[in-house]
Amino acid sequence: MFVQYLARRAIGGFLVVLLATFVVFAFIRIAGDPAALIVGGTGENITINPERVAQVRQELGLDKPLIVQFADFLAGLVTGGLGKSYVTGRPIADELRVRLPLTIEIAFLSEFMAWVFALPLGLFSALRRGRFSEALTRVFFFVASAVPAYWLGLLVLIFVLLTFGWRPPLGLVPPTQDLVTHLQQIFLPIVVLGFVLAAGLVRFIRNAVLEVLQEPFIQVARAKGLAESTVILRHVLRNAFAPTIAFSGLRVGFLLGGVVIVETTFNLPGLGLFFVDAVARRDFPVIQIAVLILGTAFVVINLVTDIVCSFLDPRLRERG
């Protein structure tokens, strides 16, 4: 039952990603003319040489029917040839080999930092109800959800430099080469993004814990004499985890958007910076691949959160 449900979700998610990619693919070719944009940019008074445009169009296969182009694109994905950047001419696959691990690392660690901020605060404010804890969570929620990550990042960089005279070493070093330097470079970005992500999480954890505390089985657990810490750890947290993880899964788009911002702010050469550069230079093959990867990440992570939740809360497996 549950496996069937997951399979259905997986297929649905796959179709969504495919469609999203196609929409972007078609939008680029129908709403604009990539060849003209590549040759002439967007300036209004730039004269575009029509012969050159026709030549670029042919080189890039833009003269073929849309469906054929999309089929070629998909065939390329399957065979691992992701195409080349229009701007640099480098194979996109080579770029991704370096950039993707960094982006996955930043996303994962930022989400982890968000939990580090949010879990104690959310738990505290749910367990010690009162004006102070309520005000604390409230202020944290509003401030952290209003502060743009790029601004916070710049402020932190400036503050650290002016107070401690320290700035993250320039030029990203891979962790395999020098782990300490790598961590120094990556620490501020993940703290900043984690802080911003923690906003919604604190609220959610607090409410999830409050909800579980009202359940009869908590009363039973207390009535049978379990220590309060056991009640919280074994019963409350475990039951509050499932909805919170599902919530994080749904917010993964927010996380990925944040990664794009943070990579730009701290100049980390990951997928996000790749995408931003590609948009600025209208490097459409790169844009397509980036959208495909981000969409796939969204679908896969939500599938994984589904599975994790079903382990934490077996009742969820029934719904298949």
Partner 1 sequence: MAEAVAAPITRERATTVRRRIPWVGLIVSIVLALLVVAGVVGPSLNPRSPTATNAAARLKAPSAQYPFGTDELGRDIFTRALYGLRTTLFIAVPGGLLGTVIGTLLGLIGGYRRGLVDFLLQRAVEIVTAIPSLVVASVVVAVLGPGRVQLIGAVALSLTPVGVRVMRAAALRVSDSLFCEAARAMGASHWRIMFRHVLPNCLGPVAVLASLNLGASIFVETGLSFLGLGVQPPNPSLGNMLTGAASLYFTRAPWMVIFPGLIVTILILCFNIIGDMLADYFDPRLRSQTTT
Angle made by CA atoms 278, 283, 289, in degrees to the nearest 5: 80
Select from 11, 46, 67, 158 the one that contacts partner 1 (CB under 8 A).
158
CA angle 71, 76, 77 (to 5 degrees): 100
- Interface with partner 1, residue 163, by CB under 8 A: no
Q: Which of 141, 128, 120, 315 is nearest to 210 (CA)?
A: 128
Which stretches within 128-166 are classed as H helix?
131-146, 149-164
We find the least distance from the C-beta atom of residue 207 to partner 1, in angstroms, to be 6
Whether 259 and 103 have beta carbons less than 8 Å apart is answered as: yes
The least distance separating partner 1 from the CB of residue 48, rounded to whole angstroms, comes to 14
3-state secondary structure of 34: helix
* Min dist. Cβ of residue 175 to partner 1 (A): 25
Report how far residue 314's alpha carbon sits from residue 51's, in angstroms, rounded to the nearest whole number: 64
Toward partner 1, which CB reaches closer, 19 or 180? 19
Please state, in angstroms and rounded to a whole number, the distance separating the CA atoms of residues 225 and 162. 54
Asked if 208 and 248 count as a contact pair (C-beta separation under 8 A), the reply is no
- The distance of closest approach from Cβ of residue 131 to partner 1 in the complex, given in angstroms and rounded to an integer, is 7
Nearer to partner 1, 131 or 315 (CB): 131
Examine residue 9 and tell whether it contacts partner 1 (CB under 8 A).
no
235 binds partner 1 (CB under 8 A): no
Q: Which region, judged by CB under 8 A, interacts with partner 1, from 65-73, 88-96, 174-182, 213-221?
A: 213-221
Give CA–CA dist 65/164, Å, rounded: 59
- Binding positions for partner 1, 16-45, rule CB under 8 A: 16-17, 19-20, 23-24, 27-28, 31-32, 42
User: What distances in angstroms separate CA 186 from CA 12, 21, 93, one per listed residue?
Assistant: 35, 31, 24
Of 62-70, 83-91, 100-108, 293-301, which part binds partner 1 (CB under 8 A)? 293-301
Site string for partner 1, 115-134 (x = CB under 8 A): ----------x-x-x-x--x
Please, what is the minimum distance in Å from the beta carbon of residue 139 to partner 1?
10
- The least distance separating partner 1 from the CB of residue 280, rounded to whole angstroms, comes to 6
At residue 84, φ and ψ (nearest 5 deg) are -115, 155
Residues between 49 and 108 that touch partner 1 (CB under 8 A): none
Do residues 196 and 144 touch, judged by C-beta distance below 8 A? yes
224 binds partner 1 (CB under 8 A): no
* Rounded Cα–Cα distance for residues 109 and 192 (Å): 11
> Residue 295 Cβ, how far from partner 1 at the closest point, in Å?
4
CB 186 within 8 A of CB 113: no
- 3-state SS of the chain: helix, strand, coil percent to 5? 80, 0, 20
Asked if 5 interacts with partner 1 (CB under 8 A), we say: no
CB 109 to partner 1: min, Å: 18
Residues making contact with partner 1 (CB under 8 A): 16-17, 19-20, 23-24, 27-28, 31-32, 42, 125, 127, 129, 131, 134, 137-138, 141-143, 145-148, 150-151, 154-155, 157-158, 161-162, 202-203, 206-207, 210-211, 213-214, 219, 222, 228, 253-254, 256-257, 260-261, 264, 275-276, 278-280, 282, 284, 287, 290-291, 294-295, 298-299
